[in-house]
Amino acid sequence: MLTLPRFEWSAPRALEEALALLSPEHGRTLLVAGGTDAVPNLKHRLHEPERVVHLARVEELRYVRATPEALELGPLVTLSELAAHPLVRRDHPSLARAAGLVAGPQLRNMGTLGGNLCLDTRCTYYNQTFFWREALGFCLKKDGAHCHVVPQGRRCVAAHSSDLGPVLIVLGAEVEIAGPRGRRTLAVDEFFVPDGIHNNVLAPDEMVIRVAIPARARGLRTGYQKLRPRGAIDFPMLSVAFAARVNGVCEEARLVVSALAAKPKVIGGLEKLVRGRPLDDAAIEAVAGAASQQCRPQTNVPYDQDYRHAMVPVFVKRAIRDALEGGA
């Protein structure tokens, strides 16, 4: 049986109270929202904090608000709420779809937007019990000195595995962060960094307090596709988010492929391939080919690297067709 380690537990009721409880030192405190990822990780001794700060009672972080500028989402909105919310379904169907494809229903009822965005990266050599990891000599991400995926590498390449991250990037969403040094807002794309040990810009005493999807994203055609072994529960082994503005011809397009390395990959060069042209079969093939060339899956998750690579163009085409057919 996997037990929890010992830690102090706090359940603040206000944002400022929660922020005051966070330590500036890495690893000393751990925020928990729905707990669907943090609790298993605590049991695996992947996190060993002195204090857990449980956010669930901070009601001011639970909201869905439409303003003229943006659809604003609080980090405590659950994945089930996002998947079912009429505004999200109407204006950003790919976000509702991605939320509805996370894990299974019980986990979506507990799991939150903030927890999903800040989800720890995943790896075959990391998401294991302490006993398993100790037998292997641990790894760079926790307690060890080497990476088992890229043995000569100096950086962890564990997989970004959040379903919502790629969708929020193609929608041009922003994330607001609060901490003792004040507040800052940045694009979701800039929130992630290519380091699997800690793949976002949050300092240990900061937290996500708002996600805003700009009003201009409402007119986009969007699609989300996810490859996973069991459709009922699993994390993505490949995910693709696409968004385009189409008025006869394609005016702008954005494509993100993820679950390959620590940061979602924004596919470059799309402007040249599709801008000012209809999104016809030839254009879709060209985009799928570009994605295939730019993506290099690692052996960081327990699924075949070549298969995941071969599926990149397949899932890119599906996501684009979803977008054009008005699906999600």
Residues that bind ligand SF4 (CB under 6 A): 123, 125-126, 139-141, 147-149, 156-158, 196, 300
The reply to whether 189 sits near ligand FAD by the rule CB under 6 A is: no
Among 100, 111, 223, 264, binds ligand FAD (CB under 6 A): 111
Q: How far is the CB of 46 from ligand SF4 (least distance, A)?
A: 10
Q: How many CA atoms lie within 13 A of 310 on its CB side?
A: 5
* Residue pair 145/103 in contact by the 8 Å Cβ criterion: no
Which lies closer to ligand FAD via its Cβ, residue 107 or residue 246? 107
> Which partner, ligand SF4, ligand FAD, none, binds residue 35 by CB below 5 to 8 Å per kind?
ligand FAD
The reply to whether 11 sits near ligand FAD by the rule CB under 6 A is: no
Region near ligand FAD per CB under 6 A, out of 113-121, 124-132, 265-273, 276-284: 113-121
Q: How far is the CB of 125 from ligand SF4 (least distance, A)?
A: 4
Which lies closer to ligand SF4 via its Cβ, residue 151 or residue 276? 151
Q: How far is the CB of 174 from ligand FAD (least distance, A)?
A: 15
> Which partner, ligand FAD, ligand SF4, none, binds residue 30 by CB below 5 to 8 Å per kind?
ligand FAD
Which lies closer to ligand SF4 via its Cβ, residue 141 or residue 308? 141
**Footprint on this chain of ligand FAD (rule: CB under 6 A):** 30-38, 40, 55, 75, 79, 102-103, 107, 110-112, 114-116, 118-120, 161-163, 202, 207-208, 233-236
